[in-house]
Every structure is written in C-alpha cells, then in structure tokens.
Amino acid sequence: MTRYEPVIGLEVHAQIHTASKMFCRCPVVEDTGDLEPNTYVCPVCTAMPGTLPVINRRAVELTIMTGLALNCEILPVSRFARKSYFYPDLPKGYQISQHALPLARDGYLEIETENGTRRVRIDNVHLEEDTGKLFHVGNVSLVDFNRAGVPLIEIVTKPDMRSAEEVRAFAVKLREILIYLGVNSGDMEKGVMRFEASVSVRPVGSDELMPRHEIKNLNSFRALARAVAYEIEQQIRVLEGGGQVTQETMGWDDARGVTYTQRTKEYAHDYRYFPEPDLPPLEVGREWVESLRRQLPELPDARRARFRAEYGLGDFETELLVADRAVADYFEAAVSLGKTSPKTLANWITGDLFRLMKETKRRIDEIPVSPEGLVDLIQRVEEGAVNLNTGREILEEMVATGKEARQIIEEKGLAQISDEAALRGIIEQVLDQHPAQVEQYVGGKTQVAGWLMGQVMKATKGRANPQLVRRLLNEALEARRKGR
C-alpha cells in the first residue's frame, strides 16, 4: 500500500502594533471587542476619493527586523502593489500589499521536532494593510473600518512542513519572535495573528507538488493544528479511494472539526496585481538595515540557552519563562536585584504568579506587582517573617490590590508568630484539648504528631512559624511521655 507524506506551507498575517495605521494617522487600537465601530477612521483608510497613502516608517522597520530575525535577505528596493478583489470590508476595492518585490525573502526558521531540528524555509516577508470587519445581524451586514489600514506583516513559508505538529511548532515559535520584536502582543484571541495553511499529500518518495487545499482564517494554534490534521487524513482517504484532490479554498468549522469548500482556489492573476501608482519604490539602504540589525533584541532561542547556562534553570521552567518576553524581562529584573536565587524566583513566577495572571486574565505587565515587590515578599518568607502559605495569600492580595507586602502584613496582622513562649502556650492548650491523641502518641503512635501540628496551625490561623511549631510540639509531647 502507498504511504503518503503531507506537504504543508503557511501564510501568517500578523498585525503590527505601531502608534498609527499603515498609510494614515489613525491610531492602531487592539481589538478588545468593545470598541465603538468606525471611530478610528479617516478619509484615507475609508478610501475617500482624492486621498493619498503615506508609508508608516516604523511598520517598515518592524517588517525588516522580522525579516532579519527570520534570516532573510532584505531587498534594496521593494514595491507596494495593488491586490484587487471585491469584498465589502475592503473600502478601496484593492489592498495595498507587496508582490513581486517584498521587503524580505529567502530566509528560514529552525524548529525542534521529534525528529530533531528542522529548517523551514521562508519564501518572503512582506508588508500590507488589514481589512475592515463585517458583522452579520439578522438580514443586514454591517461594516466596521477600525481595523482597516492597520499594518500587517505577511510571512509566507515554503511547503516544508510535514505534520500538524511541525506546523504548530513553527507557529508557536514565530509568535514568540514577533512578541520579542515588539511587533504585537501575541494575543491570539484579539486576532493579532492569523494563519492560512496549504495542505497536500503525496506518495512518500515523490517530490512533486500536488494540488492543495488552502485553509483560511485559522485564528488559534489549536484550530491550525486540528484543521491541518483533518485535511491530511481526508486527502489520504480520497487518494486511497482512487479519487483526486483538486485545488480549493477551504473554511474551517471549529465546532464540527471539519473543513469545507469555500470556492475553487483563485490564482495570483485573479488579483490583477500591479505597482501602486500612489507610492514610490521603497529604497532600503544598507546602513538602515545594519542599524536595525543592531537593534534586534536577544531572540528566544539565544535567551533559552543563556537562562539554562547562567541561571542553572531546567528546560521546563526556562520554556515557561522565555515564551513571553515580558515574563523573561520581569524574571531578569527580579534576579538582578541579587536578593533571591533564580531558582526560587522561577518557582514563584511560574507557580503562583502565573496562576494569578490566568485567574485575573492579565499579562505580567498588567499586574500591579513589580519585580521589586515580589522579591520583597519572597525575602519576608525566607526570613520567616511570614510562612509560605501566608506568603502565597499575600501575593494574591498584592495582585488584587496593588498593595505592598509590608502593608498587607500590617493591615491583616499576618506576621508570623515566632515567639517561643507564645507558641508553647498555644501548644499546651491544644494538647490539653486533645487528650486522646496525646494518649496515642505516648502509646507509640507518633504519626499523630502531624495531626496535632495541624491543630496548632489552625489555632494560630496559619500564622505560626511551622519549623518552630514542629520542634516545640515534639518537645512538649516528649515531655508528656516522660512525665508519665
């Protein structure tokens, strides 16, 4: 029986969060879903007659930096082109994009797979503008142009991926790089990154490119991986049944977990690409490229290697910290204070802080706890001013209110009880209240000490220093045993 090999390429659209839109002065505002429609618009991005586009320099720079991060060649001259198609969310009737001469091309990105490191070639990285958005309400359709003209980077790969897992690994890594470059927030729920996958299958050993299905509008890693896996399975089934796969554009029904035909595929000539007459060729000097290369931040792979070597962290916690640049920056800001070990900090950040961020649906740069504030709390725990459990509660309060640890401890009277005399008194009381358990201990069933310890902690509302309680409780119990 023939064995089949999937052949997958990706087109990724990523919004660039510059201050203003691609060709006009309207602000770029992240789509939180509750913006008043058509409020961030002007004559240019709504295509009023007589308006002319002006290129956003920062969008060009971020596209070049993306090209550099993806090991691309930056073309000395690129051109904007008109890509014509009719759709009500496209006010001009065409999208200003790049076609024959993109800003960057011929790069690659390496991904880790179960078969080792694989190189996915990048065909090109080009710059274009986003469209508006349609809303269908009953029998009418409404259009919102807030998003129209937001700068978009499009990254086009060669068909080098061979499984849904590889596609996912590529997408995850690309997202990390874009966040590191400051292109956007990486917030997929807000549509800042969208994927289209071209999928075909061929007999293993063949190097022919078969007719492919292009799956549109995949807006999460999960949808991307599921849709690709589904297509691979379907196409193999068709070929095994003696059928043929034709070139088509597919949609993805996330609820049913299936792709469906939208239309037979359009070809490049359907778009009638031609050079944008309102914009001159874009010249990109070598000095400009080199100055942008110097501005590239340390990229995720390099940072991962450094975190392991410099801080002695394991693969798992390194991964958790580095995946988001803001988190990695936060961690390093805290480490640089030199007051706690990197390992302890990593535990607090990837444990409690991540949980609280998730619960409050906030990013690390949106929570009111500074690296200094977190380190201060950890020190109080390490010095025994509060015990670990109380420390974790304090962090929760810090995230909720923005107050400092010191203030919360004072206001709530959370300071750990480390006064030996006071604790001895409480322990004696607890033992007097539970004569049966004391009797068991004296009779040799020493495990009951753990239960008694719990009672003491309860009596102090969790504020007692646990190490101290353990020692004093043992002393008290031993005294009773001998006292018999």
What is the binding site for Mn ion (CB under 5 A)? Answer: 154
Q: Closest separation between CB of residue 13 and Mn ion, Å?
A: 6
Q: Closest separation between CB of residue 13 and Zn ion, Å?
A: 19
Q: Closest separation between CB of residue 18 and Zn ion, Å?
A: 13
Residue 17, phi then psi, degrees to nearest 5 = -90, 70
Smaller CB separation from Mn ion, 66 or 350: 66
Smaller CB separation from Zn ion, 45 or 364: 45
Residue 298, phi then psi, degrees to nearest 5 = -60, 125
Q: Provide the 3-class DSSP secondary structure of residue 385.
A: coil
Interface residues with Zn ion (CB under 5 A) are 24, 26, 42, 44-45
> Ramachandran region of residue 221, left (φ > 0), alpha (ψ -120 to 50) or beta?
alpha
User: Which among 157, 168, 164 has a CA at the least distance from the CA of 221?
Assistant: 168
Q: Closest separation between CB of residue 133 and Zn ion, Å?
A: 15
Rounded to whole angstroms, how far apart are CA atoms 202 and 211? 10
Cβ(259)–Cβ(230) below 8 Å: yes
Smaller CB separation from Mn ion, 108 or 273: 273
Smaller CB separation from Mn ion, 127 or 327: 127
Rounded to whole angstroms, how far apart are CA atoms 166 and 177? 17
Q: Decide which of Zn ion, Mn ion, none touches 29; Cβ closer than 5 to 8 Å per partner kind.
A: none
Q: Decide which of Zn ion, Mn ion, none touches 196; Cβ closer than 5 to 8 Å per partner kind.
A: none
Q: Decide which of Zn ion, Mn ion, none touches 26; Cβ closer than 5 to 8 Å per partner kind.
A: Zn ion
Q: Decide which of Mn ion, Zn ion, none touches 154; Cβ closer than 5 to 8 Å per partner kind.
A: Mn ion
Cβ(131)–Cβ(87) below 8 Å: yes
The helix (run of H) or strand (run of E) holding residue 402 is: none
Structure tokens at 66: 């993306």
Contacts 24+ apart (CB under 8 A), 439-447: 441/477, 441/480, 441/481, 442/477, 442/480, 442/481, 442/484
Q: Closest separation between CB of residue 90 and Zn ion, Å?
A: 14
Smaller CB separation from Mn ion, 61 or 128: 128
Q: Decide which of Mn ion, Zn ion, none touches 45; Cβ closer than 5 to 8 Å per partner kind.
A: Zn ion
Rounded to whole angstroms, how far apart are CA atoms 94 and 439? 87
Structure tokens at 69: 């991060």
Structure tokens at 339: 């007051």
Rounded to whole angstroms, how far apart are CA atoms 58 and 415? 51
Cβ(60)–Cβ(282) below 8 Å: yes
Smaller CB separation from Mn ion, 3 or 269: 269
Smaller CB separation from Zn ion, 54 or 236: 54
Smaller CB separation from Mn ion, 154 or 276: 154
Q: CB neighbours (10 Å) of residue 44? A: 21
Q: Closest separation between CB of residue 276 and Zn ion, Å?
A: 17
Cβ(355)–Cβ(396) below 8 Å: no
The helix (run of H) or strand (run of E) holding residue 418 is: none
Q: Closest separation between CB of residue 95 and Mn ion, Å?
A: 7
Structure tokens at 324: 């988001």
Smaller CB separation from Zn ion, 147 or 194: 147
Q: Closest separation between CB of residue 242 and Mn ion, Å?
A: 36
Q: Closest separation between CB of residue 289 and Mn ion, Å?
A: 23
Q: Closest separation between CB of residue 29 and Mn ion, Å?
A: 21
Smaller CB separation from Mn ion, 197 or 426: 197
Q: Decide which of Mn ion, Zn ion, none touches 24; Cβ closer than 5 to 8 Å per partner kind.
A: Zn ion
Q: CB nearest Mn ion: which residue? A: 154
Rounded to whole angstroms, how far apart are CA atoms 248 and 243? 15
Structure tokens at 396: 């929760």
Q: Name the CA dihedral angle for 122, 126, 129, 134, rounded to a multiple of 10 degrees.
A: -20
The helix (run of H) or strand (run of E) holding residue 119 is: strand 116-129
Q: Decide which of Mn ion, Zn ion, none touches 476; Cβ closer than 5 to 8 Å per partner kind.
A: none
